[in-house]
Structure 1
Amino acid sequence: MRLHSLEVTAFGPYRDRQVVDFDRLGADGLFLLHGDTGAGKTTLLDAVAFALYGSVPGARGQVKRLRCDTAAPDVPTTVVLELTIQGQRLRLERSPEYERPKKRGEGFTTQPAKASLTWVDGAPTEHPPEGLTRIDEVGRTVQRLLGMTVDQFFQVVMLPQGEFARFLRADTAEREQLLEKLFGTQRFGEVERWFVERRRERGREVEAQSQHVRELLARVSQVSGAARESDVDDQSWLEDVEKNALRDLEAARAEQSRLRREREAADAALAERRELADKVRRVRDAHATLAEIAERQAEHDAWRAERDAAHRAVPVLAANRAVLRAEQECERTSAEVAAAAQRCGLDAATPVAELRSLAGAEREAAGALAHLVPEAQQQETDQRRVAELAERIARDEQREAELRQQQEALPERITAARQQVDDAKHAEARLEGVQAREAEVAALLDTARALPAAQQALTTATAEAQRAVDAHQRARDVLQDLRARRLAGMAAELATRLQTGEPCPVCGSAEHPAPAEAVEELVRAEDEEEAQRAEQRAHAVREEAAVAAQRAQQEVDGLRERLGDRTEDGLAAELAELRAEREALRSAAEQLPQRTAQLAELEASTERLADQLTRLRTDLAAARSEHAALVSAVQEREARLREGRGEFPSIEERRAHLLDTAARIEELVAARTARDDAERRLAEHREALTEAATTAGFDSPAAALAAERSEERIAELTEALAEVEERAAGARAALAGPELAGIDPSTEVGLEQATEAATVAREAAERATALAHRAEQRQRDIAELGERLRQAWAELGPALAEHAELEALADVVNGRGQNARRMSLRSYVLAARLEEVAVAATRRLQRMSGGRYSFVHSDAAGARGTRGGLGLDVLDDYSGKVRPAKTLSGGESFLASLSLALGLADVVAGETGGALLDTLFIDEGFGTLDADTLDLVMDTLDELRAGGRVVGLVSHVEEMRQRIGVRLRVRKSRDGSTLELQT
C-alpha cells in the first residue's frame, strides 16, 4: 500500500480544503509532520484511517465528531484519499454523518454518511467500471485489498499517539485479547469449546449407557426374585438366575400335566350326572305346567270375555267421538260469542235485530265526517310547510353567521394556503434524494433475498461435487481391481502356450515344472480399456462438479460481500420507511398545482362571499313573510277541525273508531248465528250414540264405553291366551315323547357332589397352568433381559474407554489435566505468534539500545496455577537478568514499544498475507530520547525506508526538524488550520 495524496475539507480543525501530496513528501522515504499542539497533526492520520475504514483510531473514534465546527453550513465535510493497493490505483472519498442547519426554517437536519471508490487505472474484472458507492461495499473492498481489519491496520500501519506502550505493559488477559484480534485465532477457541462440548455429550451418552445397565440388572432381580450380592460377579449371578428359572419351568410343566388328567376324568362324570338331572327336571316342569293351567282356568275364561266385549264396543266408540267433537264446537262458538260481546261492550243476549240497528247508526256517523278529511290533510300540509319555513329560516340565519365567519377568517386561510404551497415546493426538492437512497436500499434488499437461493445452490453443488468424487473413486477402484486381476491372469495365459521341450518365452527355460493355472474369470484388455474410459468420464464429471461448486461459492461470497452486516428484515424495514417517506414527499409535491389553485381560489373568494350574503338575506326576508301568512290560516282552520275530532286526535282516527265499532257489532251477530247451528248438531249426535249402544248389545252407552280397551290391552289378552294354549300343548307333547319315557320325577341324581369334585379338579388344574405360564414367562423374560444385559456390557466397555480418552484430550486442549504449562490451545497458538513477534522486535531493540536489551518470551504457567504462555519480559545484557517491561524508563519504554510495534507489524503483515505495506506512520514519543539514542532510532528508520517504505513521523521535537529534510508543517489559527510543505 502506497499513499499518493490526501484532501480534507471541513474535517477536524481544517475548515478550508487542504491537500497533502504524499508522493512529494515520501520522495526521500522519510518525512516529518510537525506543528503547534492542537494544530491538527494527528487529524491528518485520522483522515487517512477514516478514508480507508470510515473510523479513526484510539479514543477519538468514540466521540464521532469529525466535522469542523467553524466550517460554513453549505460546505460539506469530505476526505479524499488516492492510493495504490496491490497494483490497483484507486480514489476513496468519504463524508461522515453530521448535523447541519436546515436550509429553510430553524433547527438542524442530519447529513447522512457517504462513501465512494473510483478505479483510477481501470476497474478489475470482478468490479463494476463505474466504481462503488455503497458504504458497506467500499469497506469490504478496502479490507479485502489490504488484507487486514481496522484494528490490525491501526496496530500495523498507523501507530496511534499515546498507545505505543499499551501492548508492552499489558497483562496476560489484555495481551491475549489484542493478539486474538490481530491474528484471528478465534477458530482455536472454537476448537476448545468443541472438545468441551463433545466431552459433555459423550459423558451424557456413557452415563445413559451405565444407567441402562443398572436398570437391566434391577429388572433381572425383580423378575427372578433373586437379590444381587455385592461380593458376587454380575455375570456369574446372571448365569445362576437363568439356570434356576429353567429348573422351575420344568417342575411346573410336570405338575400341570398330572392335574390336567384328573380334571378331564371329573368333567366326564359331571357330564353324565347333568344329562340325567336335565331329563328329571323336564318331566317335573311338564307336570307342573299342566297343574298350573288347570288351577287358572277361571281367569283365562274372564280374559276371553273381556276381549270379546272390547271388540263389540268399537262402533259405539266411533259415535261417542262424534258427540265429543260436537260438544267442543258448541264450547268454541259460545266462547267466540262471549269474546265478541266483550269487544263491543254489549250483552251477549241482546237481540240480533237490535245489534244490526246499532251497527248501521255507527256507519252513518262515520259517513258524516268524510267532508272534513281534505281540510285535515291540508291542515297537516300547511303545518309541515310552517315547520319547513321555520327550519329554513333558522338554517339561513346559521348560514349567514357562517358566511360572516368565513369572511372574517379568509385572511388567515390565505396565509395557511401560501405555507402549504411552500411545503409542496420543498417536498419536490427533497424527493430526488430520497428516491436515490430508496433505489440503493432496494438493490441491497434484492441481494439479501437472492442470498438464500444462492446458498441452496451452493449446498446442491457441493453435494453434487461430493457424489461426483465418490463416483470417480468407485470407477478408479474398479479399474485398479481389473488391472490387478488381469496381471494375475497373464501368467496363466502364457502357461497355455507352453510346449514340452520348447523354451519359455519369458525365462528361456525348456523345463516347465509349475505352470500357472487358469483363473476363473479372465480379464481381457477390452475390459480394462472400458474401465479406464469409465474412470476418465467420472473424472471429467468430477472436475465439472468441482468448478460448479466453486462458482456457487463465489456467487455466495459476492452476495455476502455486497450485503455486509445488513439483514433482509432490516433492509425491508428501511426500504418501507424510505418508500413511505418518498410517497409522502411525492404526494406533497403532486399537490403543488392543487394547492396553488386553492390559494388563487381563496384570494378570489372575497367578492363571492359578499354576493352570497346578499342573496341569502333576500331569501331570508321572503321566507319570513310566507311563514307569517301560513301561521294565520292554520289557526283559523284548527277551530273547525277541533269540533269534528271531538276527543280523538284527528278526523281520520274518529272515523276509523266509528267504522271499527260497527264491524265488531257485525262480528257478534255472526258469532251468535254459528253458536245456534252448533247446538243443533250436538243434539243429533247424542241420539245416534244411544242407537249404536243398543245395536251392539249393551244396556246403555255408558256400559259400552266401560267395555272399551286399548289396542295394547286387546293384543296383550290375545297373546296371553295363545301362550296358555301353547304351554299346555308343549307339556303334553314332552311327556308323550320317547326321550322322557320311563323317567320318574322323584329320582335323586346327586349332581352337587359331582359338580363339587369337578370344580376342585378344574381349579387345581387352572392353578397349575397359571404357575406353568408364569414360570415360562419368567424364564423367557430372564433370557431376554440376560441377552440385552450382555449386549449392554459389550457396548459400555468401549464407550467408557473412549470417554476417558476424550476427557483427557479435552483437558489438555483447555489447559488442564496433563497439561503441565496450563496453556490452552488458543493460548499456545498466541504464544507461538508472540514468540515470533519477540524475535522480530528483538533485532530492532538491540540495534536501538546499543545491544543492551532483548525481548524474552515466557510460556511458563502463571501464579497460583493460572494460565501462562503470553509472558513478555526484557533481558538486560548489562546485568544478565530478565526484567519486567514495566521497570524500563520513559525513553527505554519508547524504544521497546517502537521495536515491539515494528516487529508486530512485520508478523501481522506476514500472517494476513495482505498487501505490501509501503507506508508507515509513527505518532509522538521521540521527546523522551537523548541524542545518541535518537541516532540509533533514526538508523532503524533509515533501514525501513531503505527497504522501500515511506515512514511518516509526527513530532514537535525541534531536533527532528533538523534531522529530516522533508517536512509538512501544520499552522493553527482562528480561521482553521492550514498545511505548508517545507524542504
Structure 2
Amino acid sequence: MRLHRLEITAFGPYARREVVDFDALGADGLFLLHGDTGAGKTTLLDAVAFALFGAVPGARGQVKRLRCDIADNDTATEVALELSVQGHRLRLVRSPEYQRPKRRGDGFTTQQATASLTWLGEVPHGQAAEGITRIDEVSRTVQRLLGMNAEQFFQVVLLPQGEFARFLRADTTEREQLLERLFGTQRFADAERWFRELRTARGRELDRRRQSVREWLARLAQAAREEPPEDAGSEWALALRRRAAEAVAAAREEEQLASAARERAEATLQERRTAEERVRRVRAARQRIAALAEQADERARWAAELASARRAVTVTGPAAEADRQNERFERARAAEATAREALLSTGFAEPDSPVAVLRERAGSLREEAGALAGLVAEAEQQERDRKRLRDLVETATYATAQATALGEKLQGLPERARELRLQREQAAAAEVRLDGVRTRESDLVDALSAAKEIPRLERAVTEAVRLEQEATDAYHTSRTVLLDLRERRLAGMAAELATRLGEGEPCPVCGSAEHPAPATATSDPVGEADEAAAAERERAAEQHRAATLTARHQAESKLAAVRERLEGRTAEELTDALATVRTELAQLTTLAEGKARLDASVQAVEAEYAELTAQRAEAERSAGVAEEQRRTLAQRVEERERRLDVARGRFADVGERREHLVAVVGALDALAEARTVRATEKERLDEQLTAVRDAVRRAGFDTVEEALAAARTDARVADLERALADAEAEEKAARAVLAEPELAAVSPDDEVDTEPARLAAEEARTRAESAVATLRAATQRAEEVDGLAERFAAALAELAPAEEEFAELDALTDVVNGRGQNSRRMSLRSYVLAARLEEVAVAATARLRSMSQGRYSFVHSDAAGSRGTRGGLGLDVLDDYSGAVRPAKTLSGGESFLASLSLALGLADVVAAETGGALLDTLFVDEGFGTLDGQTLDVVMDVLDELRAGGRVVGLVSHVEELRQRIPTRLRIRKSRAGSTIELEGGMTAA
C-alpha cells in the first residue's frame, strides 16, 4: 500500500482545504511532519485513517468530533485520499456526520455521513466501473484490499509509541487483550468456551443421572418400606423383589380362607332376615285394612263434594268473563271523560259534538298545521344562525388576541436557543473528559486499597518469619532425637538379635544351633518401632518447615508487589489525590448528565419557535375568515326574520303556533276514538251477562251465587280425587299381600331373632375385607417394587459409562483452559498468543539490538506467573552488559522509546505476515524522539533508513528540532486563529 495524495477540508484544526502530496513528500523515502503543539500533526494521520476506515485511532475516535469548529458554515467537512494497493489505484472520499446551521431559520440540522470509492485506472474484476457509494461496501472493499481491519492498521501503519510503551509494562491480561485484537484468536477462545459449555452440559447430564439413581433408590426403599444400605445396588433390589413376592403368596392364602367364611355367615343371615320380613308384611297388611274401614264415612263426604265441584265448573268460567268485561266497560267510560277534559283544555268550544263532526274538524286543523312545518324549520335555522353570529365574533376577537400573544413569545426564543447551545457544548466537553477522570479515580482507589493492605502484609511477613523459625527449630530437634535413637539402637543390636533366638534354631550370625550366652538388653533399649516413629516425626517436621518457608516467600512476594505498585506513594498522598479527582469527577458528571437534557431543550426551543410561527400565521388567517363569514350570515338572518314575523301571528313563534294546532288535532282524535270504544264495550257486556244466566240453568243451580259456592279450586279437586284413589289402592294392595302363598302359614304373632346371625356376618365380612386389603396392598407393593427395581437397575447401568466419559472430558477441558494437568497454566488461546508474541519478540529483537548497539534483547517467557496465575505472555529485556534478564519497567525513558519502537516495528512485520495483507509501502512513526540523545538518535535513524529500503516511505511525526536538521523533506504545519495550514519544505509547495 502506497499513499499518493491527501485532501482535507474543515477537518480537525484545518478550516480550509489543505493538500498533502505524498509522492513529492516521500520522494526520498523519509519525511518529517513538524509544527507547534496542537497544530494538527497527528490529525493528518487521523485523516488517513478516517478516509480508509471511517474511524480514527485511540481515544480521539471515541469523541466523534471531526469537524473544524471555526470552519465556514457553507464549507463541508471532507477527506479525500488517493492510494495504490495490490496494483490498483483508487480514490476514497468520506464525510463524517456533523451538525450544521439550518439554511433557513434558526437551529441546526444533521449532515449525514457519506463515502465513495472511485477506481483510477483499471477496474478490478467483479467491481463496478462507476465505483462504490455505500459506506459499508466501501469499508469492506478497503479491508479486503489491505488484508487487515482498522485496529490492525492503526497498530501496523500508524505506530503509536505511547501505546507500545504501555504494552511493554502491561500485565498478562492487558497484553493478552491487545494481541487478541491484532491476531484474531477468537476462534481459540470459542474452542475453550465450547469445551467449558460441553463440560457444563455433560456435568448437568451426569448430575441428572446421579439424581435419577438417587431418586429411584429412594422410591424403591419407600415402596419396600425399608432403609437402603450404604452400598445399595442390584443385589439389594433382587432381595426386595423376593421378599415382596413371598408376602403376596401369604396374603392370597389368607384371603381365600376369609372369603369362604364370609359366604357361609352371609347365607345364614339372609335366611333369618327373610323370615323376619314375612312376619312384618303380614302385620302391616292387617293394620292397613282396619284403618281403611274406620274412614268409610269420611270418604263418602269426599265423593259428594267432588261431584258438586265438577257441575259448578261450567258456571265459573262465564261468570269470571262477565266480571272482566264489566271492568273493560268502566275503563272505556273513564277514558272518554278524560279525553273530553283534554279537548276542553285546548280551548275547543264544542266537546259534545258527534264523532263524525269531531273527525272532520280534526282534519281541517291538521292541514293548517302541515302548512306551518316548513316555517318551523326556518325558525330553528334562524336560532342556529344567530348563535353562529355570536361564535364568529368571539372567534375573530380570540384569533386577533392570540396572534398578538404569539408574536410576543417569539421575541425571546432566539437568545434562549443561543444560551442553551453554549451550555450543551460545555456539557459535551465534560462528557469527553469523564472516561479519563474515571480511569484515574479507579486507579487511585485500587492503589489506596493496596496501600491500606501494607500493615497487614508486613504483619503477615513477620508472622511467617516467626513460624518458619519455629518450624526450623522443631525440625532440628526431631533430627537430633532421630540420630540419637539410631546410635542407641546400633549399640543394642546384639541384644535385639538375642531376643529372636530359639532353642535348636541356627543363629542368623554364626549359624550355631546352641546359644550358651545370649546378650542381654540394657535398661533403656531402642527398638525398630521407636526408630520408625522418630523418623516419621522427623519427616513431618521437615514438611512443616518446607510449608512455612513457602508461606514466607509468598508473604514477602505479596508485600513486594504492593510496594512496587504504589511506587513510593503513601496512603495520605493517595487519599488527597483521590479526593481531588473525585471532586473533579463530580463536577464533570454534573455537567455531563445535563447534556441529554440540554439536547432536548435545544430541540424543544427550535421546535417551539417553528410551532409558534406557524400558530401566529394560522391565528391571523382565522381572524380574517371569521369576519368575512359574519358579514354574509348577518344579511341572511335579517331577511328570514321578516318572513317569520308574519307566520307566527299571536303566538311567540311559528313553532308554538304549530304545536297548538297539533295538540287540538290530537285531542279531537282521542275523544272520537274513546266514544267509539265505550259504545263497543257496552254491547259486549250485555251479551256476556245473558251467557252466564244460561250456564247456571244448565248446571242445575238456582242462582249464580249457589253455583259459585259449590265451585272448588283445581288443587282441591285434585286432592279429593287423589285421596279417594289412594284409599282404594291401599285396600287392594293389603288384601293382595295376605293372599300371597308364601305368607299363608305366617302368623302376625310370630317372633324372629336376627341379631346373632348379623354379628357373625359382620365379623366374617371384616376379616374378609382386611384380607383383601392386605392382598391388594401386598400385590401393589410387589408390582411397584418390581417396576422400580428395574428402573433402578437401568439407571445404574447408564450411570457408569457417563461418569467415565465426564471424567475424561473434565480433564481435557481443564488442560485446554489452563488448569488441571496443564503445568504451565496456559489456556489454548494464551498458547497461540504466546507463539505470536514469541515471533514478535524475535522480530523486535533484531531492531532493538541494532538501536541499542547490541546491548538489549527481548526475552519471551511462557512460564506460569506467581501464585499459580496464567503465564505465556511474559516479555522482559536481556541486558548483555550484566547478563541479567530484567523487567522492561526498569528501562530509562530513551531506552523505553527504543524498546517501544522496536516492538512496534516487529509487531507490524508479524501482523502483516499473519494477515496476508498488502505490502505496506508507507509507514508513520508518531512522536517519542525527544527522549533520545544524539548518538542514539543516529542509530535510530539508521534503522529507519533500513525501513525505507525497497521503496518504502517512512513518515516521522515530531517537534524535535534536531530531526529538522537531519531530514531534508519536511511538512510544516502552522497554527493560527483562522485554522492550521500546511507548507512543504525542501520540496514542491503543496497545492
Interval containing the TM-score (normalised by the shorter chain): 0.5 to 0.7
Matched, 1:980 2:966: no
Deviation at 1:838? 0.9
In structure 2, the residue matched to 1:921 is 924
2:118/2:131 contact within 8 Å kept: yes
- The AA in structure 1 aligned to 2:788 is L
Give the secondary-structure state (helix, strand or coil) at the position aligned to 2:948. helix
**What amino acid is the match of 1:245?**
A
- 1:781-835 deviation line (CA, Å, top 9, x unaligned): 1121222122222223333344444444444444444444433333333222212
Deviation at residue 199 of structure 1 after TM alignment: 3.4
Q: Which runs of 5+ in 1 are unaligned?
A: 347-354, 417-594, 607-611
Q: 1:112 to 1:276 in 2, by over 3 A?
A: closer
Q: Map residues 805-884 of structure 1 onto 2, 5 A cutoff.
A: 805-884=808-887
- The residue type paired with residue 852 of structure 1 is R
Partner of 1:195: 195
Measure how far apart 1:856 and its partner are.
Answer: 1.2
Identity %: 55
**1:885 Cα deviation after fit:** 1.1
Where does residue 132 of structure 1 map in the other structure? Answer: 132
Shift of 1:273: 4.0
Give the 3 Å change call, closer, same or farther, for CA 651–251 of structure 1 in structure 2: closer
**Counterpart Cα distance in 1 of 2:881 and 2:731:** 144
Match in the other structure for 1:167 = 167
SS of the equivalent of 2:768 reads helix
Q: How many residues are paired up? A: 754
2:803 is aligned to 800
**CA contact 1:189–1:826 (8 Å) conserved in 2:** yes
For the structure 1 residues 88 and 678, does the alpha-carbon distance in structure 2 shift closer, same or farther, using more than 3 Å as the test? closer
Secondary structure of the structure 2 residue equivalent to 1:934? helix
Residue 81 of structure 1 pairs with residue 81 of structure 2: yes
C-alpha change, 1:729 and 1:931, in structure 2 (3 Å) is: closer
Which residue in the other structure is 2:218 paired with? 218
Q: Does structure 2 retain, via aligned residues, the 8 Å contact 1:29–1:949?
A: yes
> Counterpart of 1:946 in 2: which secondary structure?
coil
Distance 1:339 1:627 in 2: 41
Equivalent of 2:892 in 886, 889, 893: 889
Equivalent-residue separation in structure 2 for 1:152 and 1:838 (angstroms): 18
The AA in structure 1 aligned to 2:128 is P
Partner of 2:20: 20
Deviation at 1:774, TM superposition (A): 0.6
Matched residue of 2:55: which SS?
coil
Distance 1:56 1:283 in 2: 119
Amino acid at match of 1:876: D
Residue 2 of structure 1 deviates from its aligned partner by 1.9
**TM-score, L = length of structure 1:** 0.65
Q: Shift of residue 276 of structure 1?
A: 4.4
Indicate the residue corresponding to 1:269 in structure 2: 268
Equivalent residue number for residue 143 of structure 2: 143
Equivalent-residue separation in structure 2 for 1:95 and 1:656 (angstroms) = 85
Secondary structure of the 1:165 match is: helix
Residue equivalent to 1:545: none
Question: CA offsets, 1:167-211, max 9 Å, x none?
Answer: 222233322221121112233333333333333333333333333
SS of residue in 2 equivalent to 1:763: helix
User: How do residues 452-471 of structure 1 correspond to structure 2 at under 5 angstroms?
Assistant: none
Partner of 2:312: 313
The 1:842–1:729 alpha-carbon spacing in structure 2 relative to 1, beyond 3 Å, is same
The answer to whether the 8 Å contact 2:343/2:664 transfers is: no
User: In structure 2, do the counterparts of structure 1 residues 237 and 101 end up closer, same or farther at CA, with 3 Å as the change threshold?
Assistant: closer
CA distance in 2, matches of 1:312, 1:952: 137
- CA change 1:768–1:663 in 2 (3 A) is closer
How far did 1:898 drift? 1.0
Contact 1:6 1:20 in 2 (8 A): yes
With over 3 angstroms needed to count, the CA separation of the structure-2 counterparts of 1:128 and 1:296, relative to structure 1, is same
Aligned equivalent of 1:208: 208
Secondary structure of the structure 2 residue equivalent to 1:860 = coil
Q: How many angstroms apart in 1 are the aligned matches of 2:958 and 2:835?
A: 34
User: Aligned partners of 1:68 and 1:663: how far apart in 2?
Assistant: 96
User: Which residue in the other structure is 1:768 paired with?
Assistant: 771
Q: What does the per-residue CA deviation read over 1:870-905, in whole Å, with 9 as the maximum and x for residues that have no partner? A: 221111010011122122122211211111111111
Q: 2:786 is matched with which residue: 783, 787, 792?
A: 783
Q: Name the CA shift for 1:249/1:115 in 2 (closer, same or farther; >3 Å).
A: same
The reply to whether residue 898 of structure 1 matches residue 901 of structure 2 is yes
Matched residues in 2 for 1:247 and 1:622: separation? Answer: 115
Shift of 1:961: 4.6
Residue 576 of structure 2: aligned partner:
none
Is the CA contact (8 Å cut-off) linking 1:242 and 1:782 kept in structure 2? Answer: yes
2:735 & 2:387 partners in 1: Cα distance?
Answer: 116
Letter of the 1:43 counterpart = T
Distance 1:243 1:723, change over 3 A: same
Alignment of 1:502-541 (within 5 A): none
1:153 shift after superposition: 0.8
Aligned partners of 2:828 and 2:910: how far apart in 1? 20
Q: Contact between 1:390 and 1:627, CA under 8 Å: does it hold in 2?
A: no
Query: Deviation per CA, 1:667-716, whole angstroms, max 9, x where unpaired?
Result: 998899789878877875675566456xx2x5654443333234454455
CA distance, structure 1, for counterparts of residue 168 and residue 56 of structure 2: 22
The whole-number CA distance in structure 2 between the counterparts of 1:706 and 1:848 is 144
Q: CA deviation at 1:768?
A: 0.7
Alignment check: 8 A CA contact 2:90 2:119 kept? yes
Counterpart CA distance in 2 for 1:398 and 1:939 is: 93
Shift in CA distance, 649/945, structure 1 to aligned 2, threshold 3 Å: closer
Q: What's 1:549 paired with? A: none
Aligned match of 2:940 in 937, 946, 949?
Answer: 937
How far off its partner does 1:252 sit? 0.8
* Aligned mates of 1:915, 1:765 — CA distance in 2: 98
Question: 1:153 aligns to what?
Answer: 153
- Retained in 1: the 8 A contact 2:9–2:18? yes
Give the equivalent residue in structure 1 for 2:183: 183
Q: Map Cα deviations across residues 299-349 of structure 1 (whole Å, 9 max, x no partner).
A: 333332233222333344355445534654565466557757876999xxx
Could you report, residue by residue, the CA deviation over 1:449-497 in whole angstroms, capped at 9, with x for unpaired residues?
xxxxxxxxxxxxxxxxxxxxxxxxxxxxxxxxxxxxxxxxxxxxxxxxx
1:118 maps to what in 2? 118
> Which secondary structure does the structure 2 equivalent of 1:268 belong to?
helix
CA offsets, 1:101-132, max 9 Å, x none? 55555665544332211112333233222111
Segment drifting more, 178-187 vs 332-341: 332-341
The reply to whether residue 953 of structure 1 matches residue 952 of structure 2 is: no
TM value normalised by structure 2:
0.65
Shift of 1:20: 3.4
- CA spacing shift, 1:277–1:50, aligned 2, 3 Å: same
User: Is the deviation greater in 175-184 or in 23-32?
Assistant: 23-32
Does 1:251 pair with 2:255?
no
Residue 157 of structure 1: how far off its partner (Å)? 0.9
Matches within 5 A, 1:592-603: none
Query: What amino acid sits opposite 2:141 in the alignment?
Result: T
Relative to structure 1, the CA distance from residue 732 to residue 66 in structure 2 (aligned partners, 3 Å threshold; closer, same or farther) is closer
Shift of 1:867: 2.9
Greater shift in the superposed pair: 26-35 or 779-788: 26-35
- Cα distance in 1, alignment partners of residues 868 and 832 from structure 2: 20
| Structure 2 portions without partners, runs of 5+ | 411-616
1:405-804 alignment, distance < 5 Å: 688=694, 691-692=697-698, 696=700, 698=701, 701-736=704-739, 738-804=741-807
RMSD: 5.2
Shift of 1:161: 5.9
Q: Secondary structure at the match of 1:118?
A: strand
Query: Residue 218 of structure 1 aligns to which amino acid in structure 2?
Result: A
Higher deviation after alignment, 324-333 or 74-83: 324-333
Residue type of the alignment partner of 1:259: A
State the distance in 2 between where 1:727 and 1:128 align: 115
The residue that corresponds to 2:497 in the other structure is: none
